[in-house]
């Protein structure tokens, strides 16, 4: 038998009536007297393999009866269309070869608790639901990068180890960096991407970011992935238009290419199909009024004094009033990052926005127009209690050819959670890092 498979399950439709070899793992097995049914998965899909005792050798049939869940094998047989079969095709097996045995696989079809499944995350990712989630995640990442590339953006990688904070010093992971003092795991790549923006005009970075928040909510991870575009000569309005086009393109591509995975997840795609521009926009002030008018409709969404940020219940309540993602813009400058441009007509608020997803998923994007005046930026750094000396290079970007510019960051896991309808963010990343979990 050849070492390489003839084809994959995803391409099996092109081989009806032919003999092929598939290589994969036993997802499920049942036996009925002289028949053994193997559900084989190969990463691209699953197919039912039928082993009839009269059509194979005694050795092959005995092997089929002994195969355990997740045993790796090569299967050769003829492809047959069958509407009743999973995926619409079956393989009538001629030959079977065991590649890697599996005995007492710990994740059986019975119910398991979350802690058990998280302890076995390295195996749990093989299950149908987790498989579908991670395929959607991969599609979201590909769609995001390819759309930006098509729009003329350049990927500009930012460092993971940094010397300074970007969004406050209270949630940093610190480490000793040789003789140079402390270094920190990056909260964002944004400051460095702004340097790339001044070189290339339109750039983005993509990679892991870290927040040392002691949060145990279903929306938080300590390590997550962000994609962060930045655009020169772009104001706040340009930024909002870019975001709604970006998110819509990603969602529509997932609907087109990952429909089968969304079916596995039993995702109601009605709201996703409505994810087309323009998105509604409300101000922070309008959001306060909306919360007051609808308090009690979402548990915990109590009135918020002006100048305080929203919690998850408030975001859920706001988003529930719209049929697609909604921008909340112009938050109080005092509760936002030091680099956000004040509204010239009303300096106490910033030219910023959070994009809230429907169905209680909350913020998936945060963005703003950036301060481009060096004196104002230096003043804001001081007001936030940061050391100006640490930001000399960042101030240089404003001293040499400064321009108005804007950007945003989209958290991959939050976007995937919303698109897939997954309630807990821990299932949207292969190996989640949370307050009480760093294994495996």
Tens digit of each residue's pLDDT (9 = 90 or more) over 29-55: 999 899 999 999 999 999 999 999 999
Confidence at 325, pLDDT banded by 50, 70, 90: very high
Q: How far apart are CA 341 and CA 349, in angstroms?
A: 9
Tens digit of each residue's pLDDT (9 = 90 or more) over 232-242: 999 999 999 99
The answer to whether 71 and 114 have CB atoms below 8 angstroms apart is no
Q: How far apart are CA 194 and CA 92, in angstroms?
A: 58
Q: Is the pLDDT of residue 85 over 90?
A: no
Confidence at 4, pLDDT banded by 50, 70, 90: low
Q: Is the pLDDT of residue 254 over 70?
A: yes
- Which has the minimum average pLDDT: 47-56, 157-166, 286-295, 417-426? 157-166
Average pLDDT of the segment spanning 74-88: 92
Instruction: Identify the pLDDT of residue 86.
Output: 81
Q: How far apart are CA 142 and CA 155, in angstroms?
A: 13
- 287, with CB counted inside 10 A (0-12, 13-18, 19+), is buried
Tokens of 107: 């994740």
pTM summary value: 0.95
Instruction: Identify the pLDDT of residue 216.
Output: 83
Average pLDDT of the segment spanning 225-231: 98
* Sign of the C-alpha dihedral computed for residues 329, 334, 337 and 343 taken in this order: positive
Instruction: Identify the pLDDT of residue 165.
Output: 72
Average pLDDT of the segment spanning 78-94: 92
User: Which has the closest alpha carbon to 222: 435, 1, 372?
Assistant: 435
Confidence at 392, pLDDT banded by 50, 70, 90: very high
Q: Is the pLDDT of residue 205 over 80?
A: yes
Q: Is the pLDDT of residue 207 over 60?
A: yes
Q: Is the pLDDT of residue 214 over 90?
A: no
Tokens of 194: 């702004």
Confidence at 2, pLDDT banded by 50, 70, 90: low
Instruction: Identify the pLDDT of residue 388.
Output: 94
Confidence at 3, pLDDT banded by 50, 70, 90: low
Residue whose tokens read 């089968």: 260
Instruction: Identify the pLDDT of residue 109.
Output: 80
């Amino acid at each position: 038998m050849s070492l390489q498979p003839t084809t994959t399950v995803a391409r099996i439709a092109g081989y009806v009536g032919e003999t092929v070899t598939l290589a994969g793992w036993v997802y499920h097995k049942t036996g009925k007297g002289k028949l053994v049914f193997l559900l084989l998965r190969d990463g691209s899909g699953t197919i039912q393999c039928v082993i009839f005792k009269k059509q194979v050798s005694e050795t092959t049939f005995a092997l089929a009866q002994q195969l355990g869940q997740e045993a790796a094998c090569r299967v050769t047989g003829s492809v047959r269309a069958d509407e009743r079969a999973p995926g619409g095709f079956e393989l009538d097996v001629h030959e079977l070869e065991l590649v890697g045995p599996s005995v007492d696989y710990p994740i059986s079809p019975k119910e398991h608790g979350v802690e058990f499944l998280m302890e076995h995350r390295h195996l749990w990712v093989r299950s149908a639901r987790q498989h579908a989630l991670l395929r959607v995640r991969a599609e979201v990442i590909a769609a995001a990068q390819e759309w930006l590339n098509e729009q003329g953006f350049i990927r500009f990688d930012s460092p993971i180890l940094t010397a300074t904070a970007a969004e406050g010093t209270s949630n940093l992971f610190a480490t000793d960096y040789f003789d140079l003092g402390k270094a920190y795991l990056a909260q964002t790549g944004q400051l460095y991407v702004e340097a790339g923006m001044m070189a290339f005009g339109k750039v983005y970075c993509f990679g892991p970011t870290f927040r040392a928040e002691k949060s145990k909510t279903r929306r938080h991870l300590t390590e997550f992935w962000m994609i962060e575009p930045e655009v020169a000569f772009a104001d706040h309005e340009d930024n909002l238009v870019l975001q709604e086009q970006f998110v819509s393109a990603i969602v529509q591509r997932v609907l087109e290419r990952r429909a089968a995975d969304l079916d596995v997840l039993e995702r109601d795609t009605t709201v996703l199909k409505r994810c087309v521009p323009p998105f509604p926009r409300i101000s922070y002030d309008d959001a306060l009024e909306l919360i007051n008018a609808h308090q009690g409709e979402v548990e915990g969404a109590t009135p918020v004094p002006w100048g305080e940020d929203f919690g998850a219940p408030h975001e859920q309540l706001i988003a529930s009033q719209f049929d697609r993602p909604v921008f909340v813009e112009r938050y109080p400058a005092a509760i936002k990052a030091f680099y956000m441009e004040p509204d010239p007509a009303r300096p106490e608020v910033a030219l910023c926005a959070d994009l809230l997803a429907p169905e209680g998923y909350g913020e998936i994007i945060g963005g703003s127009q950036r301060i481009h005046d060096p004196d104002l930026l230096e003043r804001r750094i001081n007001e936030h209690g940061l050391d100006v000396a640490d930001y000399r290079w960042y101030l240089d970007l404003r001293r040499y050819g400064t321009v108005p510019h804007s950007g945003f960051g989209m958290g991959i896991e939050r976007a995937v959670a919303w698109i897939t309808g997954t309630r807990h963010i821990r299932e949207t990343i292969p190996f989640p890092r949370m307050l009480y979990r760093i294994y495996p």
